[in-house]
Amino acid sequence: MKQRFKVALAQISCLRGDKKANIQKIEDFTERAKKQGAELVIFPELSLTGYVVRDELYELAEKTTGPSTKAIEKLARKHEIHIVFGMPELSEKAQATIYNTAVLIGPKGLIGKYRKMYLPTHSVFEEKRYFRPGYKAEAFETELGKLGLIICYDIFFPEVSRLTRLEGAQLIICISASPAVRRTFFETLTVARAIENTSFLAYVNLVGIEDGLQFWGGSRLIGPNGKTIAAAKYDEEDLVVGEVDYADIGPVEAFVPTLRDLRPELFDKLKEKAENL
């Protein structure tokens, strides 16, 4: 397993509903990331289709054995790179049951997927109308260490990131489609999740305008001490590369030993209280 590697944050805008065009863009950004020495390139939430596709989701959703994932697997093989992207995933066992999924692909093919657990359905968001929530936090063993995957609104619930960390993830990847008014929330929470877990956190947000919603970009790689290692521009497409060095975790974990100090008995209480809110 590699201790040090470069991560590319591919902050793209999408052509809504046009998977072919979006895969082409994913290819272009992957090539650019590879040229800059990245071994992992991350794309935003629902980057295969765009975010505001509403009822078109039923036509756009695919299984992770489908042609779009296959096309991106081919890309990963060709460029010998790891890719994380977002897609509406059709259930293997049903015909119109869809998940909001982050897919992790390595140079040898599909490694794993995470189905978003917290689906925002308030304000401008209507995800529960379309998606079934996932039931499991996910972290996957790769040549780049264990990678945890979370999606956008999940970041408001520290337990999702925490679970990936307790699974052993040292890099938590958060793909996102966050519109502009929520910028300060994410700027705060990305740092908080990195610090409280003493882990790296890569946040990749969408840009562009979809039905009047302006996605703010601002993707960033944050170190376990909460410092920003690389940051993309606001509001425009961008590709930035930052280095993850797992050796940086040890000193922070000793300095602010949040994992050592975890109190499991509180979690039972949390469960009990949350059930009776």
Partner 1 sequence: MKLTQSVLDLNWEEVKTKITRFIRDYVEKSRAKGIVLGLSGGVDSSTAAALSAMAIGGNKVLGLLLPEKETYNPRDMGHAELVAKKFGIKTEKIDITPALEALEKTIPVFDSEDKLCKGNLKARTRMLYLYYYANKLNLIVCGSSDKSETMIGYFTKWGDVAADISPLMDLYKTQVRKLAEYLGVPDEIVKKPPSPMLWPGQTAEEEIGLKYETLDLILYGLEHFMKTEEIANQLGLQKDLVEKVKKRWQTMEHKRRMPLTTKIQYRTVGFDFRLPHTQP
What does the binding site for partner 1 look like in residue numbers (CB under 8 A)?
15-18, 50, 52-56, 126, 129, 180, 208-212, 214, 235
Residue 266's contacts (CB-CB under 8 Å, 6 or more residues apart) are: none
Of residues 209 and 262, the one with the C-beta less far from partner 1:
209
- What is the token pair recorded at 273? 């209280």
Q: Judging by beta carbons within 10 Å of its beta carbon (0-12, 13-18, 19+), is residue 113 exposed, middle or buried?
A: buried
Q: How far is the CB of 71 from partner 1 (least distance, A)?
A: 19
Residue 84's contacts (CB-CB under 8 Å, 6 or more residues apart) are: 40, 41, 42, 43, 102, 103, 104, 105, 147, 149, 173, 175, 204
Of residues 51 and 114, the one with the C-beta less far from partner 1:
51
Of residues 28 and 211, the one with the C-beta less far from partner 1:
211
Q: How far is the CB of 16 from partner 1 (least distance, A)?
A: 4
User: Closest by alpha carbon to 170, among 193, 187, 147, 137?
Assistant: 147
Q: How far is the CB of 133 from partner 1 (least distance, A)?
A: 20
Q: How far is the CB of 189 from partner 1 (least distance, A)?
A: 21
Establish whether 116 is a catalytic residue.
yes
Q: How far is the CB of 1 from partner 1 (least distance, A)?
A: 40
Q: Which of 116, 127, 138, 174 is catalytic?
A: 116
Count of beta carbons in the 10 Å neighbourhood of residue 111: 19
- As a three-state string, the secondary structure of 39-104 is CEEECCCCCCCCCCCHHHHHHHCECCCCHHHHHHHHHHHHHCCEEEEEEEEECCCCCCCEEEEEEE
Of residues 208 and 224, the one with the C-beta less far from partner 1:
208
Q: Is the dihedral of CA 82, 247, 2, 79 positive or negative?
A: positive
Q: Is the dihedral of CA 263, 268, 269, 274 positive or negative?
A: positive
Of residues 47 and 198, the one with the C-beta less far from partner 1:
47
Establish whether 146 is a catalytic residue.
no
Of residues 48 and 137, the one with the C-beta less far from partner 1:
48
What is the C-alpha to C-alpha distance for residues 143 and 132, in angstroms, rounded to an integer? 31
203-213 burial: b if 16+ Cβ within 10 Å, else e: bbbbbbebeeb
Q: How far is the CB of 217 from partner 1 (least distance, A)?
A: 12
The catalytic site residues sit at 45, 116, 152
